[in-house]
Amino acid sequence: MPATPTYARRRIGNELRKLRRQQGLSLDMVSDAIDWNKSKLSRIETAKMPISRHDLHLIASMYSIDRDALARLEDWIRQDTGGRRWWNEYADLITSAYEEFISLEAHAAGISTAHSSLIPGLLQSEGYARAVITCGPFVPDPDTADALTEIRMKRQEIITSRAAVKVSAVITESVLHNEYGGRNVMQAQLRHLLDMTRLSNVDLRLIQHASMQGVLVGAFTILTFPDARDPNMVFIEHQGGIVSKDSDRDVKRYRRYLDHLSTAAMNQTGTRELIAKRLDES
């Protein structure tokens, strides 16, 4: 099974790719010079496998890596290999793609998401999260359902921590009427949404039924990072899991899509009023 890319490993891969290209070197040229399989270097650059300190020093002279850059890369290697993260405890329950998403989400400076049929995971109440997890076609056993719900709740700590991340979300009005778990669960979820929108770092906008422009199908999330050297990423959710894309073209395309949806959506004040109205009616 391929290693799950971590935030630090992704930074290493991006930096090594940039340094190689600055020297005008191809994957073949580097691999032949140090007697590596071409796929090894490619997998390091795409964060599919870690690089050891020994291997880093092996290519450092070819890339003309100065002392400061080398020290920075070595520090990232230590971050990649040292310590356990809270999500490691659930490695036997989650896919490598989901683990990658959680790892990168935890390091993001900004999270922008759009969902057409569900409340976004970071804004879900515990009861709603459990209902969504257990009502799908792949119903887990109770213990697994508990663990998956726990994961979703732990992910939300990035919103309320001291260094809280900025979260922007767009949902459709129909989401407010999908009563997963029943009436009581949905009422609690609506109250939770109102509480979350009182946070200064949460911006929630809703596309009304009557909107002629805000056509949203499926769900996707864009992650931005505090360091300009770290490319933004988009994760697209589907019934079978989650797919990541980090090319400039893909990220820009989904960013334009999200900007279009945000323009078609109500502002936060109008969104709060509609949620409160839905709560009163439920």
Q: What is the pLDDT of residues 209-262, one digit of tens each?
A: 877 676 788 899 999 988 777 889 999 998 778 999 988 999 999 999 999 999
CA angle 106, 99, 50 (to 5 degrees): 95
* DSSP symbols for 11-52: HHHHHHHHHHHHTT--HHHHHHHHT--HHHHHHHHTTSS---
What does the pLDDT average to over 87-98? 88
Q: 100 Cβ partners below 8 Å, 6+ apart? A: 4, 5, 244
The two tokens of residue 62 are: 């070819």
Does residue 77 surpass a pLDDT of 90? no
Following CA atoms 118, 126, 259, 242 in sequence, which dihedral angle do they give, to the nearest 10 degrees?
A: -70
Q: What is the mean pLDDT of the chain?
A: 89
Q: How do residues 122-177 score in pLDDT, each as one tens digit?
A: 999 999 999 999 987 777 788 999 999 999 999 999 998 877 899 999 999 999 99
What number of H helices and E strands is found in the chain?
12, 6
Residue 208 has pLDDT above 50, yes or no: yes
Structure confidence at residue 11 (pLDDT): 87
What's the pLDDT score for residue 166? Answer: 95
Whether 264 has a pLDDT exceeding 70, the answer reads yes
Tokens representing 14 are: 């991006």
The DSSP secondary-structure symbol of 222 reads E
Superfamily the domain 7-79 falls into: lambda repressor-like DNA-binding domains (1.10.260.40)
Half-sphere exposure of 120 (CA within 13 A, CB side): 29
At a CB cut-off of 8 Å and minimum separation 6, what does 146 contact? 130
% residues pLDDT > 90 (the chain): 58
Q: Tokens at residue 107, please?
A: 């390091």
Inform me whether the pLDDT recorded for 2 exceeds 50: no
Q: What is the pTM of this model?
A: 0.82
Rounded to an integer, what distance in angstroms lies between the CA atom of residue 164 and that of residue 148? 23
Topology of the domain comprising 95-281? Endonuclease; Chain A (3.30.870)
- Annotated domain spans of the chain: 7-79, 95-281
Has residue 29 got a pLDDT over 60? yes
Q: For 62, phi and psi rounded to 5 degrees?
A: -65, -35
* DSSP notation for 229-277: TS--EEEEEETTEEEEE--HHHHHHHHHHHHHHHHHS--HHHHHHHHHH
Q: Residue 280 pLDDT more than 60? A: yes
Alpha-carbon torsion 272, 273, 275, 280, what sign? positive
Contacts of 22 (CB under 8 A, 6+ apart): 63
